[in-house]
Amino acid sequence: MNPFLFNEFIGTSSAAWKQKIQADLKGADYNETLLWKTNEGITVKPFYSKEDRTNTKLNLPKKGFNICQTIFVDNEKIANSLALDALRRGATSIQFISAKPFNCSLLLQNIDINTILIYFKFQFLPPVFLVELSKFINPNKTFIQLDIIGNLAENGNWYINLKEDFKQLDFILKSNKNCVSVSSDLYQNAGATIVQQLAYTLAHANEYLNHFGKDIAEKIHFTFSAGSNYFFEIAKLRAFRILWATLLNEYDQENSAVHIFTQPSLRNKTLYDYNINMLRTTTEYMSAILGGSHTVSSISYDAMYHKSNEFGERIARNQLLILQQESYLQEAQNFADGTYYIESITNQLAEKALTLFKQIEKGGGFLKQLKAGIIQKKIAESVAKEEEDFHAKKIILLGTNMQPNKNDIMKNELELFPFIKQRNIKTLIVPINRKRLSEITEKERLEKEND
């Protein structure tokens, strides 16, 4: 290429572009007409230039992303068969979810523990069981998704009590790597803004650092959910790496590497016109990949109302395979480096989240504010605003609050209860509930179907 090819073109400054835009507005105010603010308080401009670059160096994965299949362990033999089938069909990682101890040998039979990333998400506190599990796993390829604070936030109670939960976690820490997970996905699926998600996740993780000391940082990993705000979700994951490095710097911890496991959100998924969920998850997968996730877990378009089924899971897994192998996103973790818009959003999100994090710490920390109901109140305020925008059609879910298919009948399709369940149990704190945005509208439509 001729190195002098572009010499004849004169560069144009941002100020000159803004002046030209202002002239074309014919008297209308630039700031009021073309700048807009999100619910996070982020200002979005009509154009960006190299002046918006921050050149922040992120500690991103070096070898692309893993495609994960999530499997609930009820019967070990069946779960093992499903895992092997998923691996044969393109998955490179497995997440096992379990509500009780299981036969480790049977579950992991014929799974190459030295090459396959395996995640165990426990819905119980398993210190003694983890001793048994450690005999069958490769600690460098295994992540234990155990979050005692996340359990308190979501269910309103400790597994046992504060003292005993931390005592048992301390026992687990002595013999396991990668054994503390921070459930950022809870805040996203409950309706928190992106700034809140980042700040709450950081404050949540800081409780573990405060209790166990800085050395626990190497055993902490994070679970995120990606929503449909494409560029902002990319920026969210990148901003968290900045925030995590900033926090660890305060603990004089040099290694700021962070392992991120990401799934699409369920908050924006709909019961009606459910095929559109495939379009939503596709952009969410892309955000997770371009944001630098180590592992991206598939989620079926019908997950909220159908039991686990081969068709839905195959489609979801193939979406990721197409992005990885046909869209050339296998090693796309740093594609967003140097992008003016994303770097600007990333920087703004990180700054605002850090400010909120400092307010939480000044107020006594995450646990104290959670017990006082302050975190729940702030999320509820964000949910109310989002629901108001949804009903006013400022937030669009196609097929639900825009161009609904009136012939779409769902009452005979419900294998699972698709709405938030009311729990009549006494809780220590007000729980943070995962709830889909379209639930009220869908309940009304289902009632009309029964008329």
Residue 153's nearest CA partner among 88, 193, 197, 195 is 197
**Burial (0-12, 13-18, 19+ Cβ within 10 Å), 256:** middle
State the Rg of the chain over Cα.
Answer: 23
Q: Which homologous superfamily does the CATH classification assign to the domain defined by 66-345?
A: Methylmalonyl-CoA mutase (3.20.20.240)
Q: How far apart are CA 271 and CA 256, in angstroms?
A: 40
What burial letters (b/e) apply to 132-146, b meaning 16+ CB within 10 Å?
ebeebbeeebbbbbb
Going residue by residue through the chain (451 aa), what tens digit of pLDDT does each one get? 566 666 777 778 888 888 888 888 888 888 888 888 888 889 998 888 888 888 888 888 888 999 999 999 999 999 999 999 999 999 999 999 999 999 999 999 999 999 999 999 999 999 999 999 999 999 999 999 999 999 999 999 999 999 999 999 999 999 899 999 999 999 999 999 999 999 999 999 999 999 999 999 999 999 999 999 999 999 999 999 999 999 999 999 887 789 999 999 999 999 999 999 999 999 999 999 999 999 999 999 999 999 999 999 999 999 999 999 999 999 888 899 989 999 999 999 999 999 999 999 999 999 999 999 999 999 999 999 999 999 999 999 999 999 999 889 999 999 999 999 888 889 999 999 999 999 999 999 999 886 6
pTM over 0.75: yes
- Give pLDDT, residue 19: 85
Report the pLDDT value the prediction gives residue 157, as an integer from 0 to 100.
97
What integer pLDDT is reported at residue 3 of this predicted model? 65
Distance CA 166, CA 216 (A): 13
Q: Which pLDDT belongs to residue 59?
A: 86
Alpha-carbon distance of 408 to 31, in angstroms, equals 43
> So what's the pLDDT on residue 4?
66
Q: H or E segment at 262?
A: strand 260-264
pLDDT of residue 406: 87
Question: Cα(14)–Cα(333) distance, rounded to whole angstroms?
Answer: 29
- H/E stretch holding 60 reads none
Can you give the pLDDT at residue 31?
Answer: 84
Residue 239, both tokens: 């901003």
